[in-house]
Structure 1
Amino acid sequence: MRFKKIFGWLHLWLGLVSGTIVFIISITGAIYSWEPELSEYTEPYRHVTPKDQPFQPVTAIRAAGEASMGGEKAFRILYRGKDQAAVVQFFQKNPYHYYNVYVNPYTAKVQKVLNRDDEFFHFILNGHMYLWLPREIGDVIVGYGTLVFFLVLVTGIVLWWPRNKARRKVSFRIKLNASPKRRNYDLHNVLGFYASWIVAFAALTGLVWSFTWMAQAEFWVFSGGKKRPGAVPVKSDNHAPVKDSTSINQVFEAFLARYPNAAGYSISLPANDSAAVIVRAYPSPNQFYNADYLYFDQHTGREIPAPYLGKYQNATLAEKAVRMNYDIHVGSIAGLPGRLLMFFAALIAASLPITGFLVWWGRRKKKKPASRPVNKMSAVSGTPAKPINYQSPGRLHTP
């Protein structure tokens, strides 16, 4: 009992401290989980009429995007299918800006220049990751808020765990015909119990992005005690005797021939003369863990062996865990059913601070029980009188 009292105290105060953060993170996560589908219907500039002809060369699509941005260098191009516009992306940290330029891949004509800060789902994502605060502040608050929330989940499961068979009969379902206070209690406990096992994965994977020690711990566990490698630079031969600025076109054409059935492709454009071209092929839509990463010399088009994060079939268990982090976080690791589970779990997680606060507030407002009358000697028999019973026998206590 003393052990549970400690966990109860932790669950209460950690929950009160992190409640607002948890609500924002959870509700924005639930909304953002449907970004791929909703964007398809609300952003017509993403679409093109498919044609029975090859795409324009990568250099032509890049040039169209960069011209629309006043000559700024693009850092990546995304291809999402034959009926989708190519997306030329531009990003700068200082001063910060993030733009998507949508280009028709058959004609190299610009369809839309989009400031990501003006995009609804980017606004939602900023709330999920930074609480709409400056990034350096919001990132820290979200990281520690998620850590506290994970502890709240653990203490909540411990407190919920039924002590006996009679308790187990009522612990797995919501009593709909009970009082409003009891229904709220069940919504918090029962729904919270079921959602915790799913939300815990979202919290843990979120912590991997927030804390270096968590990322290292994940790799250490799945690698059998090895340290997670940092960014491994893959460089082009800057001293190559022949430098072909259009070799990226041949690289992408050969890549398409190797992965003709991929659901999407991305090309990370070299930032300088010594950087490599990184091309990725995604086998299925809305999943990223099983992509193949290939590296090429930007001057010669020669393939460079991947030191880390190469082909998925060659990945170690630890590398697969790193790759799966995002897909586990959003539930897409299990396809559409997994995304649905994570969506409903996120909605329940958003409700937990509210129902938990109502439970706590109801207990604070609960009236103190009337004091028991002092036993007096019966005037007739001289024997002690029985105390008055203020609670009907067999009535269950409801918080």
Structure 2
Amino acid sequence: MTIKKAIGKLHLWLGLSTGLVVFIVSLTGAIFTFQDEIRDVTEPWRKVEAQATTPMLRPSRLQAAALATHPGVAKTTTWVTYFGPERSATVFFTDPAGTPTLVYLNPYTGRVLQELDLSRHFFSIVQEIHMTLLLPEAIAKWVVGGSVIIFLVMLVTGLVLWWPKRKQERKQRFTIKWGARWRRINYDLHNVLGFYIASLAGVLALTGLFMLFPVMLDATMWAANGGRTYPQEKVLPKVDTLQAVTAAAQPLPDVIYRTVLRRSPGAEMVLIGPTGTGKDPAYCWTYQQALHYYHRDEYAFHPVSGQLLLARFHAGKSAGMKLGDMNYDVHTGQILGLGGKIVAFLVSLLAASLPVTGTLLWWGRRNKKAKKSARLPVAGPPQVANRKALQ
């Protein structure tokens, strides 16, 4: 067996073993790409009228309004997010029954606009299928992650199999022969489209793996930094629970909100995490543009006094850390705006087609061999065969 035939066998059986997972992950990724645009059209409560002369309400006011009908939920366990002057603010929490709940509010008046059960929301379900296939997290990490790693191997082996031996074949390998029979069209769809999307599909696969396996992202960040390490970027603030501190004069979320607005005045989106029980820091992240997660400033506060423990600004981050921050935006294509999302959508959709065309290709060859075997003449006695030859 030649090396190329061995690669072909490897490509075939790896594809057949992971094809279904790759199909589901790619298809759900394509569906999820435009979730913000679709939801802005179908969910009017996501937007509000901007009020230039009216300041937005403090987080504690939004928490109180969102939890008015959920008395069993502690304010310290909620996530409060501001999305800019023309968008509603949200309060996220898990109720005592375990239901993940997202409440949309007018940030200027505190009026509740909509309450969603995320466990039943279409795009939440799509995202969960994309990330876990609805399997337990510990299992899904290896099923999805392993299949994506194999998909990367298949992109490489596919390029090896696609590469033309002679110059005369190159034009043929770059185009789809639409006028041919369906088997040939399917062959071209698998090979030609696979070639065109290989590099971009590899980027989407790698950025997805970085979310599943942070150690891979750490290695990439280290490489982006030229092998240099920045210990200060790994430092996490600690809370000294033995030290006596004075409680903040105002609710902690309000102290956090006021501080980050002053230190990150250009931020459009502000995410305030749970303020905790007093043992762990309270975190806040600010983003330059709503619904984009690349340009990020990070803060940590004392959970009792509200003292600022950490302020890490985007401008002062290493190249590797900036690369890590942009991972989600690269994965969804939104790092390049609407055009990037269109590219990510098309690449994901075409990646979902590869297991289908590959399986049809294998099935067609398998049936073709079976039919050829069925047509072979049955060997008879020598004298019969000789007599037929003489007739």
Please report the TM-score for the alignment, with normalisation by the length of structure 1.
0.84
Residue identity matched to 2:103 = V
1:255 equivalent to 2:260? Answer: yes
User: Which moved further from structure 2: 166-175 or 347-356?
Assistant: 166-175
Aligned to 1:26: 26
User: Which moved further from structure 2: 30-39 or 109-118?
Assistant: 109-118
Aligned to 1:320: 322
User: Which moved further from structure 2: 227-236 or 316-325?
Assistant: 227-236
1:173-188 → structure 2 map (5 Å cutoff):
173-188=175-190
Answer yes or no: is the 8 Å Cα contact 2:84–2:290 preserved in 1. no
Describe the SS at the equivalent of 1:142: helix
Aligned to 1:75: 78
Aligned to 1:365: 367
Identify, as 1 or 2, the structure richer in helix: 2
Aligned to 1:16: 16
Match of 1:290 among 292, 295, 318: 295
Aligned to 1:381: none
Q: What displacement does 1:282 show? A: 1.5
Q: Whole-Å Cα distance in 1 between the matches of residues 12 and 234 of structure 2?
A: 39
Q: Whole-Å Cα distance in 2 between the matches of residues 211 and 22 of structure 1?
A: 18
Q: What displacement does 1:300 show? A: 4.1
User: Which moved further from structure 2: 68-77 or 23-32?
Assistant: 68-77
Q: Whole-Å Cα distance in 1 between the matches of residues 215 and 304 of structure 2?
A: 38
**Which aligned runs of 4 or more in structure 1 are off by greater than 6 angstroms?**
227-231, 369-372
Residue identity matched to 2:61 = A
Size of the aligned set, in residue pairs, is: 368
Q: Whole-Å Cα distance in 1 between the matches of residues 122 and 325 of structure 2?
A: 27
Aligned to 2:134: 132
Closer, same or farther: CA 67–188 of 1 in aligned 2, 3 Å: same
Aligned to 1:201: 203
Aligned to 2:383: none
Closer, same or farther: CA 148–177 of 1 in aligned 2, 3 Å: same
Q: Whole-Å Cα distance in 2 between the matches of residues 250 and 226 of structure 1?
A: 33
Structure 1, residues 36-61: CA drift from partner, whole Å, max 9, x if none?
Answer: 11111222222333333011222111
Answer yes or no: is the 8 Å Cα contact 2:256–2:301 preserved in 1. yes
Closer, same or farther: CA 270–100 of 1 in aligned 2, 3 Å: same
Aligned to 1:393: none
Answer yes or no: is the 8 Å Cα contact 1:236–1:297 preserved in 2. no
Q: What displacement does 1:138 show? A: 2.7
Structure 1, residues 118-158: CA drift from partner, whole Å, max 9, x if none?
Answer: 11100101110111233333333111111111111111111
Residue identity matched to 1:37 = E
Unaligned runs of 5+ in 1: 373-399
Q: Whole-Å Cα distance in 2 between the matches of residues 205 and 95 of structure 1?
A: 34
Describe the SS at the equivalent of 2:108: coil
Q: Whole-Å Cα distance in 2 between the matches of residues 236 and 99 of structure 1?
A: 33
Answer yes or no: is the 8 Å Cα contact 2:174–2:192 preserved in 1. yes
Q: Whole-Å Cα distance in 1 between the matches of residues 83 and 278 of structure 2?
A: 28
1:1-399 → structure 2 map (5 Å cutoff):
2-51=2-51, 52-73=53-74, 74-91=77-94, 96-223=98-225, 224=227, 226=229, 232-235=236-239, 239-306=244-311, 310-366=312-368, 367-368=371-372
Describe the SS at the equivalent of 1:305: strand
Residue identity matched to 2:78 = F
% identical equivalent positions: 36
Q: Whole-Å Cα distance in 1 between the matches of residues 282 and 82 of structure 2?
A: 15
Describe the SS at the equivalent of 2:326: helix
Answer yes or no: is the 8 Å Cα contact 1:245–1:298 preserved in 2. no
Structure 1, residues 345-369: CA drift from partner, whole Å, max 9, x if none?
Answer: 0000111111111111111121439
Q: What displacement does 1:264 show? A: 1.6
Unaligned runs of 5+ in 2: 378-391
Aligned to 1:387: none
Describe the SS at the equivalent of 2:107: coil
Q: Whole-Å Cα distance in 2 between the matches of residues 182 and 319 of structure 1?
A: 46
Residue identity matched to 1:232 = L
Describe the SS at the equivalent of 2:67: helix
Aligned to 1:382: none
Please report the TM-score for the alignment, with normalisation by the length of structure 2.
0.85
Structure 1, residues 5-58: CA drift from partner, whole Å, max 9, x if none?
Answer: 121111101111111101110110000011111111222222333333011222
Aligned to 1:377: none
